[in-house]
């Protein structure tokens, strides 16, 4: 398993870079767009970092956001004060490690940074397209980037990664070209924009088009630009990228030295002034229109139909303070992928900077991305798990090995409270299962992902709403049930999402536990989760008898009970069916009650 060399990521840069222009060879009909029009010529601006392997099989493609460009990392000159927009993520030893990967980032179709767009010359007129540049869709943009890969001799990519509108492009990649992408990371995005997000874009568009220098989009002919409207549009959009917490912390209600202007106003003014120097208004409108119209449900009928042919392994990342693309939209994507039985992981990162956090709060995101990328070959391999030929042999195994003997080969497994994924890794290696872990600890989630497994970052006490009924053959609670706050809810959800549940726990009804409590008033060490009772995570210690009663109350059928008896007396008691008295530990198979 690959381990990052340090807890903090190195600051090494890819160094001095340059934007390259690829003139794509097109058929006689040109590059046909979804709107029905076509482009006679297509040029794509891109940057590349790292070295392409001889087999051309180490490519990571970066999809930029609404106002991004191909300059994702490095610098153009050593005197540059600003580096690429994702320089903190891309480089030697970073989240996307250029010592291993050949990283590409290309400007989108309709952009103003070298790729064919409104500022490009129309070969039919010899003048800039301007307002006459045709409408483009997210699909058109991804198709153009696919042509770029072919132009560079690259058939498949290790990963496609993007945040915000870049995340929408990632979703387009995995649905439109399912055989091209091995892995995909969709960050702070969704299957479509919410009505609230659309509303901000509508106001931004109106700000541009109401500028006196707009001239119906033909401002290039007049030698002017709609500066005021474009600046206002950027300010409106930028507000949606920030969280209330960060705005309050950074600016509050502070005023400038003169006392007449709020600091937040000066900040937004600065953002607007910078934007008009680097972006074209028509490009902004075309790309925004592509983002606004992106809707997987509208195109396919449902997310399940959209994801039906997906082959890529997917990581969906939500940001805690993002209200432009709230976590619910990432959960919706994850739920649909889980429902289609795709390989998907989900994590929700604690990121206070709002939607822009994927550009700013890099450290934890970089660790998650680094773990998800294919550092090792996660093929199953033999690990010497003991074969189980009888119940008595099973009773001598530890919980993990016992569960491995219980789960069918090749089954779909959900591990609830999976920890660092050790059990799932064992099941993958010994039983060739396809497993997904669920845990509330983001560090555990990243460890599971780093093992090459899938994981869902969620609190099982809150239910498993993102998982459909009967989605898995087995759901496992290995020493987890005593630690949850809502055992009833967790058990109900377990038998809802899986055809069979496996619950492993320490039995507090064991005779030694009863005796120690009677004579010493203490819980014996061998029945504690730790050496000290106050270090234990157990919230609900219970006995096998208690578990029977809870299952009866919840109408959960007990299919099989395996009592683990360590000593001779314990085994004698269990043979006489005094399981609650003789079992140190128990493994119980359960399922929803069948009428």
Q: Which domains does the chain have, with CATH numbers?
A: 12-56+64-155 (3.40.50.1820), 159-192+295-370 (3.40.50.1820), 193-293 (1.10.1740.110), 391-592 (3.40.50.150)
Answer yes or no: pTM beyond 0.75. yes
Under DSSP, is residue 268 helix (H, G, I), strand (E, B) or coil? helix
Is residue 302 part of the annotated active site? The answer reads no
**The tokens of 493 are what?**
């959800």
Q: State the angle between helix axes of 399-406 and 422-431 in degrees (0 to 180), rounded to the nearest 10.
A: 40
Annotated catalytic residue within 140, 322, 361, 399 = 322
Q: What is the per-residue burial (b if ≥16 Cβ within 10 Å, else e) of 116-128?
A: bbbbbebeeeeeb
User: How does DSSP assign 190-237, residue by residue?
Assistant: -SB--HHHHHHHHHHHHHHHTSTT-GGGTGGGGT---HHHHHHHHHHH
Query: What is the pLDDT at residue 378?
Result: 39
Query: What is the pLDDT at residue 568?
Result: 83
What is the CB-side half-sphere exposure of residue 105 using CA atoms within 13 A?
A: 30
Annotated catalytic residue within 164, 189, 400, 430 = 164
Query: What is the pLDDT at residue 539?
Result: 64
Is residue 355 part of the annotated active site? The answer reads yes
What are the pLDDT tens digits along the chain (595 aa)?
A: 333 333 334 458 999 999 999 999 999 999 999 999 999 999 999 999 999 999 999 999 999 999 999 999 999 987 777 899 999 999 999 999 999 999 999 999 999 999 999 999 999 999 999 999 999 999 999 999 999 999 999 999 999 999 999 999 999 999 999 999 999 999 999 999 999 999 999 999 999 999 999 999 999 999 999 999 999 999 999 999 988 888 888 888 888 766 678 888 888 999 999 999 999 999 999 999 999 999 999 999 999 999 999 999 999 999 999 999 999 999 999 999 999 999 999 999 998 899 999 998 888 999 999 999 986 443 444 344 445 544 444 555 678 888 999 999 999 999 999 999 999 999 999 999 998 999 999 999 999 999 999 999 999 999 999 999 999 999 999 999 988 989 999 999 999 999 999 999 988 877 777 777 677 666 555 544 444 434 445 567 788 888 999 999 999 999 999 888 888 887 888 788 788 887 888 999 999 976 5
Alpha-carbon Rg for the chain in angstroms? 28
Query: What is the pLDDT at residue 508?
Result: 81
Is residue 322 part of the annotated active site? The answer reads yes
Q: What is the DSSP letter of 386?
A: P
474 and 498 in contact (C-beta within 8 Å)? Answer: yes
What is the CB-side half-sphere exposure of residue 483 using CA atoms within 13 A?
A: 21
């Amino acid at each position: 398993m690959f381990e990052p060399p340090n807890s903090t990521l190195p600051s090494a840069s890819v160094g001095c870079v340059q934007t390259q222009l690829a003139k794509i060879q097109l058929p006689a009909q040109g590059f046909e767009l979804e709107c029905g029009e076509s482009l006679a010529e297509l040029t794509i601006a891109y940057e590349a970092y790292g070295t392409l392997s001889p087999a051309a099989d180490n490519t990571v493609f970066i999809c930029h956001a609404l106002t991004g460009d191909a300059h994702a990392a490095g610098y153009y000159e050593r005197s540059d004060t600003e580096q690429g927009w994702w320089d903190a993520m891309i480089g030697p030893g970073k989240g996307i490690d250029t010592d291993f990967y050949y990283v590409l980032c290309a400007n989108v179709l309709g952009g103003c940074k070298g790729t064919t767009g409104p500022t490009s010359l129309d070969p039919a007129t010899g003048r800039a397209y301007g307002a006459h540049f045709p409408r483009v869709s997210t699909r058109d943009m991804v198709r153009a980037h696919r042509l770029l890969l072919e132009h560079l001799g690259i058939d498949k990519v290790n990963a496609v990664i993007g945040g915000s509108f870049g995340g929408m492009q990632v979703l387009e990649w995995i649905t439109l070209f399912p055989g091209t992408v091995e892995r995909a990371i969709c960050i702070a995005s969704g299957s479509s924009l919410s009505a609230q997000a659309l509303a901000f874009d509508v106001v931004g568009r109106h700000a541009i088009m109401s500028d006196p220098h707009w001239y119906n989009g033909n401002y290039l002919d007049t030698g002017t630009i709609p500066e005021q409207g474009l600046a206002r549009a950027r300010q409106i959009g930028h507000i949606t990228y920030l969280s209330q917490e960060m705005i309050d912390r950074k600016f509050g209600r502070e005023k400038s030295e003169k006392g007449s202007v709020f600091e937040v106003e000066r900040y937004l003014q600065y953002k607007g002034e910078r934007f008009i120097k680097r972006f074209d208004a028509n490009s902004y409108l075309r790309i925004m229109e592509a983002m606004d119209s992106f809707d997987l449900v509208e195109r396919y009928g449902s997310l399940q139909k959209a994801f039906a042919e997906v082959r890529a392994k997917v990581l969906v990342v939500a940001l805690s303070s993002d209200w432009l693309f709230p976590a619910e939209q990432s959960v919706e994507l994850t739920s649909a992928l889980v429902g289609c039985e795709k390989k998907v992981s989900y994590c929700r990162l604690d990121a206070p900077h709002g939607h822009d956090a994927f550009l700013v709060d890099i450290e934890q995101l970089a660790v998650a991305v680094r773990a998800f990328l294919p550092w090792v070959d996660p093929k199953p391999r033999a690990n010497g798990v003991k074969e189980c030929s009888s119940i008595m042999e099973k009773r001598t195994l530890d919980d993990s090995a016992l569960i491995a003997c219980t789960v069918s080969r090749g089954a779909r497994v959900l591990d609830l409270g999976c920890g660092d994924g050790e059990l799932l890794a064992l099941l993958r290696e010994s039983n060739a299962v396809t497993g997904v872990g669920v845990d509330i600890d983001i560090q555990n989630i990243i460890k599971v992902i780093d093992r090459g497994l899938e994981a869902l970052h969620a609190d099982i006490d809150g239910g498993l709403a993102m998982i459909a009924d009967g989605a898995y053959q087995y759901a496992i609670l290995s020493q987890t049930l005593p630690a949850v706050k809502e055992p009833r809810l967790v058990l109900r959800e377990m038998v809802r999402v899986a055809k069979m549940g496996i619950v492993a726990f320490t039995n507090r009804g064991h005779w030694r536990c009863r005796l120690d409590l009677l004579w010493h008033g203490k819980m014996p060490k061998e029945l504690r989760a730790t050496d000290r009772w106050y270090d234990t995570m157990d919230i609900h210690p219970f006995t096998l008898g208690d578990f029977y009663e809870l299952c009866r109350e919840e109408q959960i059928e007990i299919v099989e009970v395996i009592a683990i008896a360590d000593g001779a007396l314990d085994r004698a008691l269990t043979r006489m069916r005094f399981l609650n008295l003789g079992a140190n530990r128990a493994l119980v198979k359960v399922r929803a009650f069948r009428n």
